[in-house]
């Protein structure tokens, strides 16, 4: 059975794309039983993510935009300056996408609102801390020291067995234990 893993880029800062884009690309290239879905909130982020992910992986990825209707976007834009209402609105507008995946990988916790909204029908969540992809992981086949700490809690894997970033994500979808912060549905 093919597992669908969504890499969520639901933020407005392009520099944040580097945190998990490389992991998504490597997973798409090296895990044939996984369907990688990349969901972006804004077009600038999608372009940045596409730059980071190897070109060979682009055709193996399902690319999705978390679009909002123009009227809703205009209405929420002023409020978004003080609270992340656009991010939240994009999540709620695309609940069907979240229902269709097994795992959501994200660098932000706003996406946990999806978990609250969907309950048991929703996917599992894996948190990769900010800075994990762009400062201390090459996202290719190297160990990922900081992000393993968070994902290992969910995956239950030892640090010696975690060599490739995509193997951590793949493991987490099979072995997440209920009760861990990001594994709870």
For the chain, 185 residues long, give each residue's pLDDT as a single digit of tens: 789 999 999 987 777 788 889 889 999 999 889 999 999 999 999 999 999 999 999 999 999 999 999 999 999 999 999 998 999 999 999 999 999 999 999 888 888 889 889 988 889 988 887 654 444 443 333 333 333 333 333 333 233 322 334 455 555 545 444 334 444 44
pTM: 0.74
Q: What structural domains and CATH numbers belong to the chain? A: 3-175 (3.40.50)
Buried b (16+ CB within 10 A) or exposed e, 55-64: eebeebbeeb
């Amino acid at each position: 059975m093919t597992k669908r893993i969504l890499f969520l880029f639901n933020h407005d800062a392009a520099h944040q794309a580097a945190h998990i884009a490389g992991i998504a690309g490597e997973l798409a290239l090296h895990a044939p039983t996984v369907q990688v879905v990349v969901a972006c909130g804004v077009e600038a982020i999608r372009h940045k993510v596409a730059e980071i992910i190897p070109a060979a992986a682009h055709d193996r990825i399902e690319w999705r935009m978390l679009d909002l209707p123009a009227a809703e976007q205009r209405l929420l834009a002023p409020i978004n300056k003080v609270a992340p209402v656009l991010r939240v609105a994009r999540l709620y507008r695309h609940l069907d996408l979240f229902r269709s995946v097994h795992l959501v990988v994200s660098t932000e916790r706003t996406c946990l609102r999806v978990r609250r909204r969907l309950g048991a029908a929703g996917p599992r969540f894996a948190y990769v801390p900010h800075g994990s992809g762009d400062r201390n992981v090459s996202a290719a086949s190297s160990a990922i020291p900081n992000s393993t700490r968070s994902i290992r809690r969910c995956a239950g894997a030892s640090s010696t067995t975690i060599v490739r970033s995509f193997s951590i994500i793949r493991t987490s979808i099979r072995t997440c234990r209920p009760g861990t912060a990001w594994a709870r549905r």
